[in-house]
Amino acid sequence: MGAVLGWILGLIPLLGWLLWWWNEIWYAWPVERRGTNASVKLPPGQMGFPFFGEIFTFLWTHLFGSPSIMACFPSISKFIFRDEDAFLPEWPNVDLVGRNSVVAVHGKAHARLRSFVLNALTFEIIGKLFMSFEPGPQLDEVYWLLHEMCRKKVEAIFEVEPEKRKSQSEETVTDLMDGIRQIKDEEGKKLSDQEVLDNIIILVIAGYESTALASLWAIYYIPIQNKNGEFITSEDVSNMNYTNKVAEETLRLAYIGAFKFRLVARDINYKGYRIPKGRKVILWLQYLHTNPEIIVQGSAKPEAYQVFGGESRICAENMLARMQLAILLHHLSVGYKWELLNPDADFFYLPHRAPADKVEVSFSKL
């Protein structure tokens, strides 16, 4: 019995060592061996335990079930956004929004779809503009299903629309779905019904969720930044000249889209580091937006402020989202005062960061 226990105790350190180095042996060493330029090396970091990796280092590591490189500096973020042929969009999972949606495709297909992207002020108006859905039980059901991640049930509601519209004139355009159905590629081919559905679903999600979350954080941050009833000073005025400055700061602090995911299409050399083909690159935008050194030193540089992505894949809805938030802030500020009922509430982080109480607020008219 003592001998068996001794063997077990002796194997534990060996197993721990193998677990720690397994990803390094499996993923990193083959890349290093095939390299021809000794001066070009992989980014620093360890691959850590399989499937988990170095969750707290965010460099060359193993995240979301695959080897990944974390990019969290303005210069490399700009480099990746600009070369969309080398860094393809690759989310961990796109089953809910569809593999043919505007966030998943790239190149000419993305450019065609992006030109049709619109936003709206509320979930009901999005339904009206995108699919001519009137407010009511059907749209309420879609909203609930999207939050419960029920892709198949959402699709069952939406998929009847393309069939209903096949009998109407091809020139008839009453909403975004009609417009998407008429998009043609270089060969004159239109999108399939599945491609139309994928894009309508992601537009409904993005059009509502992003603005709703930004509004939530604006209502949350404003009362905790100043004491209740504190007057605006001349310094406040000089530092925050326009309402849209408050909107921009809300978007920065909220970091609604904390990460962007890319798949490396070919071997890339960047400042002496090799980014191997087939690896994932994760742009950690939250780090850019919350690091004081980057914000102070790079506040005027677009690559230091990318709440809506960058370059050709910047969110087509970004200006409308900014406008909606500015309108909300104006009407709230001139007509109401409010306070948080639970200013010390905890936060949850999935699928988006938000206070656990969903920002319970007491409003009163001025």
Residue 239 has pLDDT above 60, yes or no: no
Count Cβ atoms within 10 A of the Cβ of residue 93 and give its class: 0-12 exposed, 13-18 middle, 19 or more buried: exposed
Task: State residue 275's pLDDT score.
Answer: 81
Instruction: Please tell me the least confidently modeled range out of 28-32, 280-284, 348-352.
Output: 28-32
* Arithmetic mean of pLDDT, 198-224: 73
**Model confidence band, residue 306 (pLDDT cutoffs 50, 70, 90):** confident
User: Who wins on pLDDT, 355 or 70?
Assistant: 355
**CA 283 to CA 83: how far, in whole Å?**
14
- Whole-angstrom distance, CA of residue 120 vs CA of residue 123: 8
Domains of the chain: 65-365 (1.10.630.10)
pLDDT at 23 over 80: no
Predicted confidence at residue 351, as pLDDT, reads: 63
For residue 197, pLDDT over 80 is answered with no
Is pLDDT of 335 > 80? yes
Comparing 160 with 76, the larger pLDDT belongs to 76
Q: For strand 336-340 and strand 280-284, is the pairing parallel, antiparallel, or unpaired?
A: unpaired
Whether residue 22 has pLDDT greater than 70: no
Helix (H, G, I), strand (E, B) or coil at 61: strand
Query: Does 365 have pLDDT greater than 80?
Result: yes
Tell me if residue 200 falls in helix, strand or coil.
Answer: helix
- Look at 68-82, 124-138, 192-206, 285-299 and tell me which has the smallest mean pLDDT: 124-138
User: What pLDDT, in 10s, does the model give residues 165-184?
Assistant: 766 666 666 666 777 777 77
**What is d(CA 21, CA 211) in angstroms, rounded to the nearest whole number?**
43
Query: Is residue 248 over pLDDT 50?
Result: yes
Range 4-8 average pLDDT = 62
Q: pLDDT at position 141, please? A: 61
pLDDT, tens digit, 9 for 90 and up, residues 130-165: 555 555 565 556 555 555 555 566 666 666 666 677
- Classify residue 132 as left (phi > 0), alpha (psi -120 to 50) or beta: left
pLDDT attached to residue 301: 63
pLDDT at 177: 72
Which long-range CB contacts under 8 A does 136-145 form with residues at least 24 apart? 142/204, 143/208
Question: What pLDDT is attached to residue 140?
Answer: 59
The pLDDT of residue 264 is above 80: yes
pLDDT bin (cut points 50, 70, 90) of residue 69 is confident
Cis peptide bond upstream of 13, omega within 30? no
Comparing CA positions, the residue from 193, 158, 216, 167 lying closest to residue 359 is 216
Cα–Cα dist 209/349, whole Å: 15
Q: Which residues pair with 282 in a beta bridge?
A: 70, 261
pLDDT band per the 50, 70, 90 thresholds, residue 238: very low
Is pTM beyond 0.85? Reply is no
Q: Rounded to an integer, what distance in angstroms lies between the CA atom of residue 166 and that of residue 179?
A: 13
121 against 317, higher pLDDT: 317
Q: Which residue has the higher pLDDT, 114 or 215?
A: 215
338-355 pLDDT per residue, tens: 888 888 888 877 667 788
